[in-house]
């Protein structure tokens, strides 16, 4: 096999070395346009996981790296002049130039041909004359761009400028420092990579960079300015550059990673922001996987397909974490008002890979200090601290999210709802929410949706609230009121979600006559008189809800239903006083809110659920969501339940663990309004992390409560918590400990003899 590697960075060099080591008969050539000692950046951080893979694949390279590594455990965070240290993290780094030298030496010793200061031949020629072409030519990969129509690259530039620099001394920890300047917030990321050197990255938002005048400074002046801003971290020492320049980070994603005998590797295939780790780490792991797949699979096509299958999920997970980290630093100005220790915890958990429980294992002392400052009594996880909304005090921060059950008859909740909501109330959550309860028959989503527009429906709801109050004292129950708008008159979810009824349907109304999907019914444009009628339907339903004994009322202004349809510019095309600018699109939802608040008891809280983004171009933005939240707060909303999407059928959500929480986080910090975070929050560790970091006040979970109605009780048991934040119902107390399982341990041997010991030749004396 003849192999061409385009790009002489760590990923390309290591791939070449591995492929040659596994099959010395391969003819392998590496092209690198730069000189051998030209490199971008200074230090490289590798994880123990990556090092383990290198050790197994090439002990020679591993041994050389081991001799060079600088290791440390601590992360230092300096904010508002206060220094906090968190330990137990474990890092290993070395100079990028030294890493390249090690790989150069290994490639030469194996017989790989290295061509420096040489442009690779045209990709078409390479693919014609070589059996395999590995494109490891970086984030701006010319090889990838030559086949952009096949690879489908997406390159996104972000909002911060940064510059790679170095200092001629070794820090004793990974250091993050926040500088509040007259121009805005700037941050430093720094770590040692040799006994006498550290990487120093200075980063700030584009507008801060321009306001500070960096745009007009030459390279020397930029370096001197950065050293002055972060003189405390540097101990007054200077910084140096290596052809360093201010740049913006580019996230690269590709639809495909291979085309015929051409395959992408490292930054050519994907990038992940430097704040969570090294792109070198991903590239080296790519090289390991590619070499293994080529060894294991009988054909090249199968090997390249297996390589992509293996690496794509790992890379996608890393990129999700990297985006969360990147966006945290882009928006670090939101958090500068936090107490320095909570700020440090927030920074450490920013990517959602390090969590409350994980950090407690790494550094129990630091985590306990954050909990004390937050107000956690001894032995109390953050999720079991109380929270007050108006006259209602919730005993913990867990909310059973509204979930449509599609099991009502003529809008009447029956025995199913009693068991469903009753079971979750017994399960320990601080607040249990009903599904969206419709304010009219025409406002239902499906024929199975519950309502609160008749006396009979109200009586059935009263039966449920009475049960919760009697059998689950301390658990609050809330009602969510809504109107389906253009998303109504559809089949039950399991019969065809969002599909229109084939018979027995009803006419739809909406802000504008735009159907939800291609097969959906076209709604009628609401007249002023109809708007008044619907507003009164909401008020009547709220009056009934109060008499039913609900503790909290939530107005549903999300997910493309009627009120959400007024808020989104994609679904509101009105030209009257209820359409156009955001202020005008808010008018009807605020009128409804005011009408409901007027009949809802003063001491009981009222929240609003919104879709903070439509996940579609031209739709609601994060800025809009903040403005919407502020508007409802000004009208008396006690909290905002921050969801996203489901407004238009062609949305493109960016799913992932806790993927909606950044929107709640932003609203909380920009408005000061309490928020409820939702969206793929699945573990009690996530709940503790989000609350302790100050990203949300309450966490609403849906699917976990379908899987386990007693999710909150079990979270308490698993954390060994028995305080007032949760209460086992008396009949269930015998189950408050995890049941024993079958035996998994084996008896320990009575005697253990070393394998190298020789049998004794001394006779045994009888007792």
> If phi over 0 gives left and psi between -120 and 50 gives alpha, with beta otherwise, what is residue 586?
alpha
At how many degrees (to 10) do helices 364-374 and 340-348 cross? 130
Query: What was the pLDDT predicted at 726?
Result: 95
User: CA 218, CA 644: separation in Å to the nearest integer?
Assistant: 44
Question: Scanning the structure block, which residue is given the tokens 């979270």?
Answer: 715
User: CA 378, CA 383: separation in Å to the nearest integer?
Assistant: 13
Cβ neighbours around 743 below 10 Å, total: 7
User: CA 712, CA 727: separation in Å to the nearest integer?
Assistant: 10
User: CA 520, CA 442: separation in Å to the nearest integer?
Assistant: 16
- In this prediction, residue 755 has a pLDDT band, given cuts at 50, 70 and 90, of very low
DSSP-assigned states of every residue in 361-394 = HH-HHHHHHHHHHHTPPTT--GGGS-EEETTEEE
Query: What was the pLDDT predicted at 49?
Result: 74
- In this prediction, residue 325 has a pLDDT band, given cuts at 50, 70 and 90, of very high
User: CA 699, CA 678: separation in Å to the nearest integer?
Assistant: 6
- Which residues lie closer than 8 Å to 231 by C-beta, 6 or more apart? none
- In this prediction, residue 758 has a pLDDT band, given cuts at 50, 70 and 90, of very low
Query: Averaged over 419-437, what is the pLDDT?
Result: 98
- In this prediction, residue 203 has a pLDDT band, given cuts at 50, 70 and 90, of very high
Distances (CA, A) of 746 to 574, 740, 743: 72, 16, 8
Q: State the DSSP code for 740.
A: P
Q: Which phi and psi (to 5°) does residue 379 adopt?
A: 75, 10
Distances (CA, A) of 92 to 15, 189, 440: 21, 16, 63
Active-site choice (130, 406, 453, 561): 561
Q: Give percent of the chain above pLDDT 90.
A: 88
| Full set of structural domains in the chain with CATH | 2-331 (3.50.50.60), 527-672 (3.20.20.70)
Query: Averaged over 726-751, what is the pLDDT?
Result: 74
Q: Is-catalytic flag, 707?
A: no
Query: Averaged over 630-636, what is the pLDDT?
Result: 98
Query: What was the pLDDT predicted at 19?
Result: 96
User: CA 446, CA 150: separation in Å to the nearest integer?
Assistant: 43
Query: Averaged over 598-614, what is the pLDDT?
Result: 98
Query: Averaged over 514-519, what is the pLDDT?
Result: 94
Distances (CA, A) of 424 to 24, 219, 246, 710, 721: 63, 61, 53, 6, 19
> If phi over 0 gives left and psi between -120 and 50 gives alpha, with beta otherwise, what is residue 231?
alpha
Kindly provide the b/e burial profile for residues 476-485, where b requires at least 16 CB atoms within 10 angstroms of the residue's own CB.
bbbbbbbbbb
Residue 486 has pLDDT above 60, yes or no: yes
Query: Averaged over 576-588, what is the pLDDT?
Result: 97
Query: What was the pLDDT predicted at 757?
Result: 38
User: CA 699, CA 16: separation in Å to the nearest integer?
Assistant: 48
Q: Which phi and psi (to 5°) does residue 79 adopt?
A: -145, 130
Span 150-185, pLDDT tens digits: 999 999 999 999 999 999 999 999 999 999 999 999
Say if CB 93 and CB 191 are below 8 A apart.
yes
DSSP-assigned states of every residue in 621-664 = -HHHHHHHHHHHHHTT-SEEEEE---SSTT------TTTTHHHH
Q: Is 169 exposed, middle or buried (0-12, 13-18, 19+ CB in 10 A)?
A: middle
Query: What was the pLDDT predicted at 589?
Result: 98
- In this prediction, residue 699 has a pLDDT band, given cuts at 50, 70 and 90, of very high
Query: Averaged over 288-306, what is the pLDDT?
Result: 96
Query: What was the pLDDT predicted at 687?
Result: 97
Residue 765 has pLDDT above 70, yes or no: no
User: CA 767, CA 764: separation in Å to the nearest integer?
Assistant: 9
Q: Is 734 exposed, middle or buried (0-12, 13-18, 19+ CB in 10 A)?
A: exposed
Residue 752 has pLDDT above 60, yes or no: no
Instruction: Name the percent of the chain in helix, strand, coil, to the closest 5.
Output: 40, 20, 40
Q: Which two tokens stand for residue 88?
A: 């137990």
Query: What was the pLDDT predicted at 411?
Result: 97
The structure's pTM equals 0.91
Say if CB 425 and CB 711 are below 8 A apart.
no
Query: What was the pLDDT predicted at 748?
Result: 57
- CA dihedral of residues 478, 481, 487, 493 (deg, nearest 10): 30
Query: Averaged over 737-749, what is the pLDDT?
Result: 66
Nearest to 520 by CA among 508, 503, 534: 508
HEC letters along 209-238: HHHCCHHHCCHHHHHHHHHHHCHHHHCCCC
Q: Which two tokens stand for residue 411?
A: 């809008």
Mean pLDDT of the chain: 93
Residue 113 has pLDDT above 90, yes or no: yes
Question: Scanning the structure block, which residue is given the tokens 């990974």?
Answer: 174
Positions of E strands within 406-514: 431-438, 476-482, 509-510
User: CA 716, CA 736: separation in Å to the nearest integer?
Assistant: 9
Query: Averaged over 372-399, what is the pLDDT?
Result: 97
How far the first Cα of the chain sits from its last, in Å, is: 72
Q: Are strands 392-394 and 387-389 parallel, antiparallel or unpaired?
A: antiparallel
Query: Averaged over 67-75, what is the pLDDT?
Result: 92
Query: What was the pLDDT predicted at 753?
Result: 42
Query: What was the pLDDT predicted at 452?
Result: 98
In what helix (H) or strand (E) does residue 346 lie, and over which residues does it extend? helix 340-348
Q: Are strands 197-205 and 184-194 parallel, antiparallel or unpaired?
A: antiparallel
Query: Averaged over 684-713, what is the pLDDT?
Result: 97
Q: Which phi and psi (to 5°) does residue 649 adopt?
A: -70, -25
User: CA 352, CA 663: separation in Å to the nearest integer?
Assistant: 15
């Amino acid at each position: 096999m003849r192999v061409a590697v385009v790009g002489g960075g760590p990923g390309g060099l290591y791939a070449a070395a591995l492929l040659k080591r596994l099959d010395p008969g391969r003819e392998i050539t590496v092209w690198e346009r730069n000189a051998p000692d030209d490199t971008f950046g200074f230090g490289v951080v590798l994880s123990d996981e990556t090092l383990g893979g290198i050790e197994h694949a090439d002990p020679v390279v591993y041994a050389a790296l081991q001799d060079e590594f600088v290791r440390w455990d601590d992360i230092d965070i300096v904010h508002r002049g206060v220094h906090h240290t968190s330990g137990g993290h474990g890092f290993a780094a070395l100079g990028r130039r030294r890493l390249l030298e090690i790989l150069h030496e290994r490639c030469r010793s194996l017989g790989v041909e290295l061509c420096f200061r040489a442009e690779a031949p045209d990709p078409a020629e390479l693919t014609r004359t070589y059996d395999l072409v590995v494109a490891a030519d970086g984030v701006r990969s010319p090889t990838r761009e030559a086949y952009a129509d096949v690879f489908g690259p997406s390159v996104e530039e972000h909002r911060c400028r940064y510059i790679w620099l170095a200092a001629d001394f070794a820090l004793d920890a990974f250091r993050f420092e926040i500088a509040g300047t007259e121009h805005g917030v700037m941050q430093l990321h720094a770590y040692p990579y040799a006994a006498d050197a550290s990487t120093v990255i200075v980063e700030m938002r584009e507008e801060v960079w321009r306001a500070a005048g960096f745009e007009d400074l030459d390279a020397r002046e930029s370096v001197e300015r950065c050293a002055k801003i972060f003189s405390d971290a540097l101990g007054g020492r200077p910084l140096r550059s290596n052809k360093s320049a201010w740049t913006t980070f580019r996230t690269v994603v590709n639809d495909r990673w291979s085309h015929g005998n051409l395959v992408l590797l490292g930054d050519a295939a994907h990038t992940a922001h430097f704040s969570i780790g090294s792109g070198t780490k991903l590239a080296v792991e790519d090289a390991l996987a590619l070499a293994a797949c080529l060894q294991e699979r009988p054909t090249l096509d199968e090997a390249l397909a297996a390589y992509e299958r293996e690496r794509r999920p790992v890379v996608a997970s890393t990129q999700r974490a990297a985006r969360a980290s990147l966006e945290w630093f882009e928006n670090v100005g939101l958090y500068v008002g936090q107490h320095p220790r909570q700020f440090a915890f927030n920074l450490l958990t920013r990517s959602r890979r390090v969590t409350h429980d994980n950090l407690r294992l790494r550094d129990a002392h630091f985590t306990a200090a954050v909990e004390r400052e937050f107000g956690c009594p001894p032995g109390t996880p953050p999720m079991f601290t109380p929270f007050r909304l108006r006259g209602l005090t919730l005993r913990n921060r867990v909310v059973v999210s509204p979930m449509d059950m599609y099991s009502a008859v003529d809008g009447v909740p029956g025995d199913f709802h009693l068991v469903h909501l009753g079971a979750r109330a017994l399960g320990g959550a601080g607040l249990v929410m009903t599904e969206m309860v419709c304010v009219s028959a025409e406002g239902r989503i499906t024929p199975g949706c519950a309502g609160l527009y008749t006396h009979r429906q109200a009586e059935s709801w009263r039966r449920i609230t009475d049960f919760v109050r009697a059998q689950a004292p301390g658990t609050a129950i809330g009602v969510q009121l809504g109107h389906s708008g253009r998303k109504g008159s559809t089949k039950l979810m399991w019969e065809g979600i969002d599909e229109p009824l084939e018979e027995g349907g009803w006419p739809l109304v909406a802000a504008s006559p735009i159907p939800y999907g291609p097969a959906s019914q076209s709604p009628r444009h609401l007249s002023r008189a109809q708007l008044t009628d619907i507003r009164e339907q909401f008020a009547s339903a709220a009056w009934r809800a109060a008499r039913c004994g609900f503790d909290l009322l939530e107005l549903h202004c999300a997910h493309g239903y009627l009120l959400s349809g007024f808020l989104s510019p994609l679904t509101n095309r009105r030209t009257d006083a209820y359409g156009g600018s955001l202020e005008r699109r808010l008018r009807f939802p605020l009128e409804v809110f005011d009408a409901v608040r007027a009949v809802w008891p003063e001491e009981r809280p009222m929240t609003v659920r919104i879709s903070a983004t439509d996940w579609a171009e031209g739709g609601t933005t994060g800025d809009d969501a903040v403005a919407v939240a502020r508007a409802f707060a000004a009208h008396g909303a006690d909290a905002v339940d921050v969801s996203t999407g489901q407004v238009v059928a062609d949305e493109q959500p960016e799913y992932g663990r806790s993927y909606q929480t950044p929107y709640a986080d932003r609203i909380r910090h920009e408005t000061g309004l309490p928020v409820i975070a939702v969206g793929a929050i699945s573990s009690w560790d996530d709940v503790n992390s989000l609350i302790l970091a100050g990203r949300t006040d309450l966490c609403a979970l849906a699917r976990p409560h379908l899987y386990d109605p007693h999710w909150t009780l079990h979270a308490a048991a698993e954390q060994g918590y028995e305080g007032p934040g949760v209460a086992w119902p008396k009949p269930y107390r015998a189950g408050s400990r995890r049941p024993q399982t079958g035996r998994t341990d084996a008896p320990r041997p009575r005697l253990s003899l070393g394998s190298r010991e020789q049998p004794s030749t001394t006779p045994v004396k009888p007792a």
